[in-house]
Structures are given as structure tokens and as C-alpha cells.
Amino acid sequence: MVQPHLIVLDLDGTLLTDEKTISLKTKHTIEKAKSQGHQVMIATGRPFRASKHIYKELGFNTPIINFNGAYIHHPLNKSYAIKHSPIELNTVTEIVESLQPFHLSNIIAEVIDDLYVEQHDQQLLSVLGLGNPKVTTGKIRDHLTENPTSMLLHTAENEVAAIRKHLQDTKAELIDHRRWGDPYHVIEIVRTGIHKAIGLDHVARAMQIPRQRIIAFGDEDNDLEMIEYAGVGVAMGNAIGDLKNIADEITASNNADGIANILIERLHL
């Protein structure tokens, strides 16, 4: 009998196919893993409101890591201590001021499940509006009164590298930032030192599952620390090169049951 493992799933490009669905084989494999005593959880850059339907669809009863580790809670256990690590409000003001020389088409702040957008943008809202958040439109500095969980900068493709360099050179001790995958030229900002591995370490300790019994799956640069942290870090076939370089294993793509294949083999399902 295989000892209980903690299986950690990124969503977009990993658990979800390009059609944003979960394949039947992957779903059945996850159910089988759960029935044999393994814990399965989600670790995503998405807010909870945009991952809740997947959590429910898979019948999970585990904590969930949202905003790449900035927000961790247990949806079904009210006594589970929430871990929220937002960005300081004055840091947000500093960033907005310092970005004046750059061209930004939008600045967005998220406070757990509330959304603040400077400009109404239907295309971005179709992504960020999953789960029907309360949306406030207008200047961030006029409307945002709480420390935000994360911040998004929407810009032109040719501006991304320069803005990220500016943030690295001037705000590295306060924030960390990632780039979204295509087609969105979005820079996502969280408090410094926040990433999925921090969240995973927090959850695994509470569950008393050692690192060597963690299997984590990912595809993008926000999965790097988690894939490195896990006892078995798995890069999807469609993952970026940097992730494949550090992964313990590379599996098939998100459209070809990559998760199921590894779990069947590793856990003898």
C-alpha cells in the first residue's frame, strides 16, 4: 500500500484542458487517488471565486492556495486559520506613481474577491469576472482603501520587460511579480516572498505530510518554486522550458491526461 501523498494541482494549462475542462480520465484518476487515502488540492494564481466551481466539481475537502500563495483558506472548514498576505496600500500608491512614465492600459487590484479596475475592459473582465466579484471602476488611488491581495498591470507586449525591470530595480524588497501567459500582456504583483511553495509548505505541515510525499503539477513560471519544493515536481508537456529544466518528471500535456498518467504510475492506481 502506497503511503498517503499530497497531490497539488495548478489549474490553467495543467489540470484544465485548453477548453477549460477536466478530462474524464484525469477526473476518475483523482477520484481513485482520493479513495485510496491521498489528499488532493489546488494551488492557483486565480482567486477563490474563479476556482470554487472546480473545487466543487472534484468534491475536494482540502485547503486551497489562491493568488499564488497570497491567500490560503479551507472552504469547508471555518475553524481553519486563513492565511492572507496582501500588499501594503502605500506600496501600491508608490508603484502607481512610479509607473507614470510607462504606458499602462489598465491597473487592477484584487482584495480577495473584490475587484478594482481603473478602466472598464470587457475582455479582461471576462477572465477576471469569473465568480461575479464586486467590481469598482475608477482610479485605484481614489477607490482602494484596503491592502490588496494582488495587483495586475495591463500593458502592451513591448512594455512588459521594461516595466518588470523597473519594478525589479526599484521595488524588489516590497513585491514580487510574474508575467501572465499569452494572450494577455499582464504583470501580476504580490507581496515579496509570496509564491505557491510558501503556501504549500504551510498546508503540508498542517497535514503532517513530508515533502518527499508531495507530487505537484504545473506549467508556468508561477509554478517554479512549487515544482522545486515538491518531492516530485512534474512539468506538463506544454510547460515553459524553465519549468521542464527543474522538474523531476515531464509528463504529457494538459490536453493528453498528463496528470492521470503520472498518478497511475507513481501511486499504482
Beta bridge partners of residue 135, listed in sequence order: 115
Point out the domain boundary residue: 191, 219, 247.
191
Q: How many separate domains does the chain show?
A: 2
Greater confidence (123 vs 34) lies with: 34
Q: What is the pLDDT of residue 14?
A: 98
**Does the predicted model carry a pTM greater than 0.85?**
yes
Q: How far apart are CA 103 and CA 71, in angstroms?
A: 30
Greater confidence (179 vs 223) lies with: 223
Are 247 and 239 in contact, with CB atoms under 8 Å apart? Answer: yes
> For the packed helices 258-267 and 24-35, what is the interaxial angle rounded to 10 degrees?
30
Annotated catalytic sites, by residue? 10
Question: Beta-carbon neighbour count of residue 210 at 10 Å?
Answer: 12
Q: How confident is the model at residue 206 (pLDDT cuts 50, 70, 90)?
A: very high
Q: How, if at all, do strands 114-117 and 104-111 pair?
A: antiparallel
Point out the domain boundary residue: 191, 218, 242.
191
- Average pLDDT score over residue span 76-80: 95
Domain contains 1 = no
Query: Cell 489528499 belongs to which residue?
Result: 39
Domain that holds residue 29: 6-83+195-267
For the cut 90, the answer to whether the pLDDT of residue 182 exceeds it is no
User: Residues 79, 200: one domain?
Assistant: yes
* Residue type at position 70: A
Q: Which three cell numbers stand for residue 75?
A: 472552504
Least confident of 15-24, 126-135, 193-202: 126-135
Are 189 and 176 in contact, with CB atoms under 8 Å apart? Answer: yes
pLDDT in tens, 243-263: 999 999 999 999 999 999 999
pLDDT in tens, 87-105: 999 999 999 999 999 999 9
Q: How confident is the model at residue 129 (pLDDT cuts 50, 70, 90)?
A: confident
Q: How confident is the model at residue 210 (pLDDT cuts 50, 70, 90)?
A: very high
Mean pLDDT of the chain: 94
User: Residues 146, 20: one domain?
Assistant: no
Domain contains 119 = yes
Q: What is the pLDDT of residue 189?
A: 94
The domain that contains 227 carries what CATH number?
A: 3.40.50.1000
